[in-house]
Structure formats: structure tokens, C-alpha cells
Amino acid sequence: MSGRQHRETEIARRIRAKGLAAQRTSAQIADEIHEACSAHFSTTRIKAHRLAHGIALADVIEQVRALFERDSKPMPGIGETLLSAYESGLKRPGPEYLHYLCTVYRVEPAALGYDGPCICGNSHRATPALAEQVAERPPLPAEREQLHQSVDSVPDTEEDENILRRTLLNLLRADTAVSQQLDGPILGACEGIRRRMDETLVSATVSAAMLDQWEEATISFGRQYTTTAPLRLLCDVLLELSAVRTAMSRRQPIDLQERLCRMAAQLSGLSGMILINLGDHRLARSFFRTGRTAADETGDRALRAWICARESLVPLYFGDAREALNLAKKSRDLAGSTPCPAQAMAPVVEARALAMLSGGESKKEVVDQAKRALARARSAFSHMKTEDQEDVAFGYTEKQLYFYQGDVLTKLGQTIEAEVVLDQALTKYEDHILDQTLIRLDQAQCRLIDGDVKEAVAIGTRALSLVSEEHLTELIVRPAMALEQAIMARDPNAPGLDAYRAELRRSRRPQLKGGGA
């Protein structure tokens, strides 16, 4: 321990001893330690609580592990190094670790120096006896701040956020059987947050300060888009969007307004993308419209074009190829000559829409037109920034280009070229089960077009068997049912068709009215 750390510990020890003698609570003692040590030693609130309890880093780790074990969850990866990073302010605990740290110290996140309530939506404060003691004294600064926040916040906003937090906490609990479908309360919370963001965007007083950590969190959510279950990620993204909306509702320096609007556009667009994966096209379109409103405030052509290109996937996946074609052309016009992801995305959507409109007929003019669009996409991709070529959510990657090119060639009946491209795409999608499944269903369609019905059924069955129930959404079910109908048209008694149907319909909960297609 360095001399500086030793002095900090000695001061904290004396404050703790006096506080215990005066029958103060641990929360009161922590606040006194923070007030005495923060200026000289940069002591954070979370560290002040550990010092107030008089325990070492290892003691906190063991308590957190015991709580994980109590909840029948796998042992966490948290260690002394990570906890020390939290205490030094270099890192912020994720929702799950923050929940358990609040449980250990028996305080709310605000007392540890973090904004917002815990994901569990419940109070972590100590026993009733301690609550009575706290009621007899004036509120501590951290508690006054939390009280101020609760007075300022809108009850509807808090309720929507708590619904998402409870859903997220249930998803994090390995021993809890939780529906992975969008239910009524979750849909209501999603729509409530989106509607209030719309109201804030059209307000004449919108301007706010955006913290750097929100931008980092948005980038992180984009990276998780291909690896995290959709409903889990949606909860995280919407909680962040709600925090952005709260900041935008207060008057802030106007020069930072663009950063806030950019965040709102990106988070709204990402919410729309996740809702496509969950099969709710209506709510997805609503979030894309909110994203367009926010993007328009930035004046950034590339961002506006990205939102429009992403929105074009809704009609593309849910049955209106002509509207998808119109949106793709609009995205291309918005992008103009600016090198950006939409320059590559929009022509690909155009090609896919053209292939769908052709109805599987390989007319030369349609094939040529679609292939010219793919060529434009490849050319635009080669001029994109490297970071955009590696960003699967806010950019456009090479594997996405391969996947969609293979899908276009399949729909055009160009099976020889399609199978080569689809094989390349499949090797690149090791971390995204949704796209892997869509690629395999395209491979099955290629085999069916070539007349190999048995192999088409086998590929389709294997594709569906690899999909967990949480990923068996409308996005997968639609093309899978289309493959089933195409197989039946060729051979209603095809070997293995019953097994394919069983995989397609296994334990799938019915879609909600008003959600999906």
C-alpha cells in the first residue's frame, strides 16, 4: 500500500470508528468519508462505502460471489482488479454487477455515485430498524440528489424503465424461465419511451449535454447486436435511449445538441433493427421514424441515409418489396456522393427488392439491373472508412455484403454463383445465429431450384435445429415457411418434410396481436 493510500485508509478508519460510536449508519459514515477524502485522495463514493464497512476488496468479491451462488447463477468474473477499477472511476459496473454491489452495501446506485435506479426496480436500503434511524436525520447529499431526481422524473417514464429493468434482470437470471417474446407490458414500455422521445424532439427547447460514456455505450450496443439475444439487448438500448431523452428535456449548451440528436438517432435506429429481429415490424417502423426525426436535427446526410437504409429492411422482410425499393432509392439520394455505409447498403436493398419483384423469373433485364446494383454496392464498400467496414450495426461489413449478394442471386435463380457466395458468407458469420440460419435457408432454396428436394429438406431442417427458441422469431419463420411451401409444390411427400415441419413449429409461442406481421 502506498503512503497516499495508507493516509486515506487511516482517515477513513478514524471516521468509521467515530461514526460507529455515535450509532451512525454505514451510509452516513460513507458520506462523511467521501466528503473528507474526495478532495485530497479522489475517493469515489463506491470506495467510500467499502471503507465505511471496514472491509477489503477481497471481502466484497466474496460477498458478491455468495450472492451469485444464492441466486444459482454461474460464478462471476469479477475480481479485485475489476473492483479496483470501479473504485478508481476507470470503469463503470454493468447493470448486473451494480445490482449486486448495491445489495452488498444496502444502498441505491446514486449512493455509490451512479445515476438511475437499479435494474431490479426495488429498494436496496437496509432493514426497517435502520430505516427508522435514517428517517430521524436530514437526508444525505446523495439521497437529496436522488430525491430531487425522483421529483423531476415523470411517473410514466419511471414505470416504463422499471418494466425494462425487471425484464432485463429476469433475463440475466439463469434459473428463471422467462418468455423471450414481446408481451403487452414490454410493448407498452417500448412505445412509451419512443413516444416521449418524439415529444422531446419536436420541443422548441431541446438542447442537452451528452456524456462521453453514452457514446461509448452506443458503440458497445452496436458490437453486441450480433451476439446478444434480441430482447436482452433491446432492454439495454431503450434504457440508454430513455436517459438520452431525459437529458434532452433539459436546456443545455446548444453547441452540444447535435451530439445528443445523433445519439437519439443511432439508438432509435438500433431499436428498430432489434425489433425487426423480434418480428414486430410495426414498432420497428415507429422507431425508425423517431430516428429520422432525430437525424434530421443533425443535418448529417450520412446518418439520415443510414436510418433510411435500415428502415428499408422492414418492408423487404415483411412483404412489400416495392416500398423497400423506394426507400433504398431515397437512402441513395440522401447519401449523395458522401462515402458512407448507406452508399453500400442502399444498392444491395435495391437488388434484393428487384429480385423479389421478379417472382423468381430470371428475366435478363431484371438480372442485369440487380447485378449492376450489387456492383455499385461493392464499389461503394471499397471506398468506405475502415472503421465503418468493421461495424456490423452502424457501418456495413464484408460479411453482410456477401450474405445479401448471395440472397439476391438465390432469388434470381442464379444458383451456381449464389452457392459460392453463400458458402463464403457462412464462414464469416460464426457469431450471429440469425444470419447463419437465413444463409442456410437460402442454400436450401438453391438446392430446391436445382431439383435436389431431399438435400433442400435436409439443409433446412439442420438450419432450424440450430436455432434456439429465443431466436425463432418472425424473421426466421417467414422464409422457413416459404421454403416449406416451395418444397410441397415440388413434392408433398418429400423425405424428411415431417421432421422439417416439426423443427419449424416446435414450442413456438403464438405472435401477439398487433405485433409481428
The answer to whether position 29 is within a domain reads yes
- Report the run of H or E that residue 216 belongs to, with start and end: helix 212-224
Classify 465 in phi/psi space as left (phi over 0), alpha (psi -120 to 50) or beta: alpha
In sequence order, what DSSP letters do the residues of 264-332 get, joined into one string? HHHHHHHHHHHHHHHT-HHHHHHHHHHHHHHHHHHT-HHHHHHHHHHHTHHHHHTT-HHHHHHHHHHHH
Of the residues 53, 88, 112, the one at which a domain ends: 112
Nearest-10 Cα torsion for 97, 212, 283, 311: -130
Residue 55 lies in a domain: yes
Alpha helix (H) residue ranges in 24-79:
26-41, 45-53, 57-70
Q: Note down pLDDT in tens along the chain; length 517 residues.
A: 556 777 888 899 999 999 898 888 999 999 999 999 888 888 999 999 999 999 988 889 999 989 888 888 888 878 888 888 888 887 888 888 888 899 999 999 889 988 877 887 778 875 444 344 433 444 444 444 443 443 344 566 777 888 888 888 777 765 555 556 677 788 888 888 887 787 776 553 433 444 567 778 888 888 888 778 788 889 889 988 988 888 777 666 665 778 888 899 999 999 999 998 888 888 999 999 999 999 998 889 999 999 999 999 999 888 788 999 999 999 999 988 888 999 999 999 999 898 888 765 667 888 888 889 999 999 999 999 999 998 888 999 888 888 888 888 888 888 899 899 898 888 887 767 778 888 999 999 999 999 999 999 999 999 888 887 776 777 788 888 889 999 999 998 999 999 998 888 874 444 333 333 2
- What total number of domains does the chain contain? 2
Residues 6+ apart with CB under 8 A from 125: 106, 107, 108, 131, 134
Q: Which three cell numbers stand for residue 150?
A: 425522483
The set of residues, in sequence order, having a beta carbon less than 8 Å from that of 211 and lying 6+ positions away, is none
The amino acid occupying position 106 is: R
Domain extent for 77: 3-112
Q: Residue 183: inside a domain, yes or no?
A: no
Residue 21 lies inside a defined structural domain of this protein: yes
Nearest CA to 93 among 202, 206, 213? 213
Residue 337 inside a domain? The answer is no
Task: Answer whether residue 81 is part of any domain.
Answer: yes
Establish how many alpha carbons lie within 13 A of residue 358's alpha carbon, considering only the half-sphere containing its beta carbon.
Answer: 24
- In a 13 Å sphere around the CA of 370, the CA atoms on its Cβ side amount to 28
For residue 461, give the 3-state DSSP assignment. helix
Asked if residue 108 belongs to a domain, the reply is yes
- Bridge partners of residue 251, in order along the sequence: 207
Among 67, 82, 112, give the residue marking a domain's end: 112
Domain boundary among 49, 81, 112: 112
